[in-house]
Amino acid sequence: MESLNYITSCRTEESAGHDRVWAQIDMDAVLYNMESMRNHIRQETQIIAVLKTNAYGHGAAAIMRELEKVPYVWGYAAATYEEAKELRNQGARKPILLLGYVFPYCYRDLAHSEIRPAVFREDMLAQLSQAAAAEGKPVCVHVALDTGMGRIGVQPDDSGLAFVKKAINTPGVIVEGMFTHFAKADEEDAAPTKRQIALYEGFRDRIREELGYDIPICHCSNSAGIIAFPQANMDAVRAGITLYGLWPSDEVSRTAVPLRPVMSLYSHIVYIKDAGPGVSVSYGGTFTTTKEKTRIATIPVGYGDGYPRSLSGKGYVLICGQKAPILGRVCMDQMMVDVTDIPDAHEGSLCTLIGRDGGCGITMEELGDLSGRFNYELACDINSRVPRIVCGGSLG
Ligand SMILES: *Cc1c(COP(=O)(O)O)cnc(C)c1O
């Protein structure tokens, strides 16, 4: 597993004129977003912080360390065993839940490392039971219930009930939780999510009545559910994108839960040249200058860092609080922008790729739209070549 080095101080333009690229992670914004969600949900409801894909590209270890101290954070959710293990290695003491299928090679360590798998296949129960016996330690599991996502999970019917009964009676397996996942909570039409909630509640009640078992931790909501469906705040909610100050979609309310973006992405101008008319810029010469004089700045960032190549000729960056459009194709490690109208731009000037500069800002959402992607995807794609620089928070 990669282990990023976190530098827990903020850089400023003055001190860092030579930095190629860095993602600034504002830990105060993480804590603000957590409090904001906390203020919007029932006080008894705990939050599971979703830290999969290296915390949506924000750096899971540093965020986990900050959230260890937040009392209403029940634990973390990861997508894979390796992500969960890395969180443990980095010092996570709270419970860790795995949201997808977990392969049998790691079942013994799940018991040992107290990592909770989602269960929904019968063969998992017998194999987890064996692993628990071998470790001499039980495995806590969360039943995945499919109420309309159509991805993983048992059905909320007799077959699902038989599965839950079997899970409850499997030696070494403790049914600690049950969750479902909303497919459309970020859309304006609330009816499909209400149907999912009703299916979940009906099934939970059947478990209580027919099996005499009260599932300790019931959880349904993702970020969109936290914002829009207070009735789905059960024992816990799973906060992903909102933790990072980003929006699940543009159909959810922007006022119910105020958020602050956590990641900003910065670079510096490394070269400036003046070009006359007829000069072609970057691979394929998709842009050619026409003006008498064009001032072209080279930025040492490209798709090799996860900055989308689809922003070629479409995106822009901020320099001196002004927009500088991308000229021609984004290369793997460099790109060119137009600074003709930004006379103060010079070699070494700060360049904001995501974030605010003076009165201007570029959000992950806007860049997602411009690049034909999705804000979640764009954040996840900022890769390990980009150092994460943490500022704020109690460790900073
Ligand atoms: C990724 C994921 C989440 C978090 O979703 P957000 O929209 O980012 O809040 C919650 N639950 C499950 C099962 C997931 O896979």
**Tokens 């924000």, residue located:** 58
Rounded to the nearest angstrom, the gap between the alpha carbon of residue 222 and the centroid of all alpha carbons in its chain is 12
Q: Is 99 in the pocket of ligand 1 (CB under 6 A)?
A: yes
User: Is there an atom of ligand 1 within 6 Å of 223 CB?
Assistant: yes
Q: Are 270 and 298 in contact (CB under 8 A)?
A: yes
In this prediction, residue 321 carries a pLDDT of 97
CA-CA distance, 43 to 240, in Å (whole number)?
A: 19
Mean residue pLDDT of the chain comes to 95
Confidence of residue 205 (pLDDT cuts 50, 70, 90): very high
Q: For a pocket test of ligand 1, which of 146, 178, 238 has the largest count of ligand atoms closer than 8 A to its C-beta?
A: 238
* Contact (CB, 8 A) for 257 and 40: yes
Known catalytic membership, residue 6 = no
3-state secondary structure (DSSP) of residue 80: coil
Task: Provide CB contacts within 8 A for 102, sequence distance 6+.
Answer: 80, 81, 110, 117, 118, 124
Rounded Cα–Cα distance for residues 333 and 300 (Å): 6
Residue nearest to atom 8 of ligand 1 (CA): 240
Percentage of residues in the chain having pLDDT higher than 70: 95
pLDDT exceeds cutoff 80 at 314: yes
Express each pLDDT in 35-44 by its tens digit: 999 999 999 9
Burial of 374 (0-12, 13-18, 19+ CB in 10 A): middle
**Structural domains of the chain sorted by starting position, each given as residue range(s) with its CATH number in brackets:** 41-244 (3.20.20.10), 263-391 (2.40.37.10)
**For ligand 1, is residue 177 a contact (CB within 6 Å)?**
no
Contact 328, 282 (CB under 8 A): yes
**Mind listing the pLDDT tens digit for each residue in 275-295?**
999 999 999 999 999 999 999
Q: How far apart are CA 372 and CA 252, in angstroms?
A: 20
Q: Is the predicted pLDDT of residue 48 greater than 50, yes or no? A: yes
* 52/93 Cα distance (integer angstroms): 17
Instruction: Check if 85 is active-site.
Output: no
Active-site hit among 271, 273, 283, 293: 283
| Ligand 1 atom 10 nearest Cα | 222
> Are 94 and 73 a contacting pair, CB within 8 Å?
yes
Alpha helix stretches (DSSP H) within 310-352? none
Higher-confidence residue: 11 or 173? Answer: 173
Confidence band (pLDDT; 50, 70, 90) for 17? low
Closest-CA residue, ligand 1 atom 15, reads: 99
Q: Is the sign of the CA dihedral 380, 96, 114, 88 positive or negative?
A: positive
Record the pTM: 0.95
Tens digits of residue pLDDT in 80-129: 999 999 999 999 999 999 999 999 999 999 999 999 999 999 999 999 99
User: Could you read off the pLDDT of 333-346 as tens digits, one per residue?
Assistant: 999 999 999 999 99
